[in-house]
Amino acid sequence: MAKKKSINSEKENFLFPKTPTGIDGLDEITEGGFPKGRPTLVCGGAGCGKTLMAMQFLFKGATDFDENGVFMSFEEPSKDLSLNVKSLGFDLEKLKSDKKLVVDYVRVERSEIEEAGEYDLDGLFVRLSYAIDKVNAKRVVLDTIESLFSGLDNQAILRAELRRLFHWLKEKGVTAVITGERGEATLTRQGLEEYVSDCVILLDHRVIQQVSTRRLRIIKYRGSTHGTNEYPFLIDEDGISVLPITSLKLNNDVSSDIVSTGVPGLDEMFSGGGIYRGSNILVSGTAGTAKTTVASYFAHKQCSKKEKTLYFAFEESPQQLIRNMQSIGINLEQFIKNGILQIHSSRPSLNGLELHLLKLKKLIRDFQPTTVIIDPISNLISVGSDHEVRSMLVRLIDMLKLNNITALFTSLNKHELITRPELAEDSVTSLVDTWITVRDLEGMGERNRGIFIVKSRGMGHSNQVREFIITGKGIELLEIELGPNGILTGTARKSNALNKKVSQLKLQNELDRKDREITRMQQVLDANIASLKNKFESAVEELSILKSTEDLYLKASADNAKK
């Protein structure tokens, strides 16, 4: 999933050393991590994840990069911090016992600051220096810096002490993360961005249409290139994960291998006998046109070939999907038990658009599927604006193509005509490689189903609209039946077949009658021929007798003449 670093990026990291954060996605955005030996400011409002990001930075440093750390808190006691992050798998007590981490709580009382008269951080420097030397720390976190100055009104003293603090941290050579509360006119309440100017990261927690979303933005990163967009990030059981994908270059690998759709007869509509591996399929149609059934056929076929498949269902629970597909002969439960298939069901409103994408990214990383199915993508419209939906779908397709994953999306179209695509369709039809439409075919007072291929990049395909039926044995594509007014479906097809059968029977009866008549005529002809043959033979016999008599007469005459 990680992007390949360019030669320029490697050269930059050599000239500008960086400390990897270990936070999924963040190192990609910063192109290597936080500036090594310099302070980084992480600011934001309450509940946006500042403390967690700082703690994860320390934890990953100690466990993954052999860099010990110091966490100095001005708000939460050490026991509370350990308890809060334990659910995320961060065992601070073990790191402390292994002497890889020091967690120090500095209690700051407003009344004590007011009584002191003068204010400096000499005591903090001594305490922090002792903690750093104790574990030979390379990483330091100060959380939250505003607490140090909660009762100080003298801005001159405040700024002087801030300069001293950050200068002291640079002299110690530690990579520091300082968290700060977001202010109204400035990024932080104390204007820290003026002092911590090497790297400033802003975290934001917003609610849109009752859906919570967290986003991250790098305000500045002196001396280094970096991602400048807003990036969504997710807090779950593994900590913080950032989604760095905004727009990818079109340089992903492609495959010429053919993958079957699993639907009997549908593969025959493609000149290659299926679709290319790593391509994207969109199956769109109105309600009740068997989009989920087509998707389940595809999942079943892939799983039967031992291909790991990830199925996202936004309308049905896994149990309901399994039961419904069993009624038409598709057994998905066996593949779930074998660990080849994973079905994840949730309402789209559970998370924002970007968080759905983050969840998918993490599942792809952990499960390593070769096939992904999302049923349907049109439900995501309810949790985002038009622009957000299009942006999310573009990112999704880019991410799948980057990993060479064969994907199938279904989309609900409320309109019958293909000339009126829905938002979800309109957002991806130009991006997907293959577009298949299932639709209603109405006529003679009944509703039937039809399927046809709108497009398939790099592969010839049929231009026919094929009627299909769903029975207890599954989907069956029917042969094309043409009538005076076009394609015949349903009862019209059966009526036409019956008429054809009747016509064939009439024709067969007429042929049989003609055969019998010819047979009788042949018999009469044969009888006439036999009669004429008898007459002919009688005439020949009579002629032969006459010739014999004449020969005898001539012989007798000759004998008399000699006498």
Catalytic position from the list 12, 75, 93, 316? 75
User: β-pairing, 446-456 with 39-44?
Assistant: unpaired
Instruction: Give catalytic status of residue 75 as yes or no.
Output: yes
Instruction: Give catalytic status of residue 307 as yes or no.
Output: no
Contact by Cβ (8 Å): 139, 20: no
Helix-helix angle 78-86:50-64, to 10 degrees: 80
Identify residue 127 by its one-letter amino acid code.
Answer: R
* Segment (H or E) for 151: none
Rounded CA-CA distance 254/280 in Å is 12
Q: What is the DSSP string of 28-96?
A: HHHTSSEETTSEEEEEE-TTSSHHHHHHHHHHHHHHHS---EEEEESSS-HHHHHHHHHTTT--HHHHH
Catalytic position from the list 76, 93, 315, 333? 315
Rounded CA-CA distance 256/126 in Å is 65
* Paired tokens of 325: 């597909």
What b/e readout covers 72-85, taking b as 16+ CB neighbours within 10 angstroms?
bbbbbebeebbeeb
Which of 204, 168, 210, 173 has the alpha carbon at shortest distance from 187? Answer: 204
* Segment (H or E) for 214: strand 211-221
Which of 92, 95, 88, 103 has the alpha carbon at shortest distance from 24? Answer: 88
Residue 64 neighbours by CB under 8 Å, 6+ apart:
22
Rounded CA-CA distance 109/191 in Å is 22
Rounded CA-CA distance 44/58 in Å is 19
Catalytic residues: 75, 315
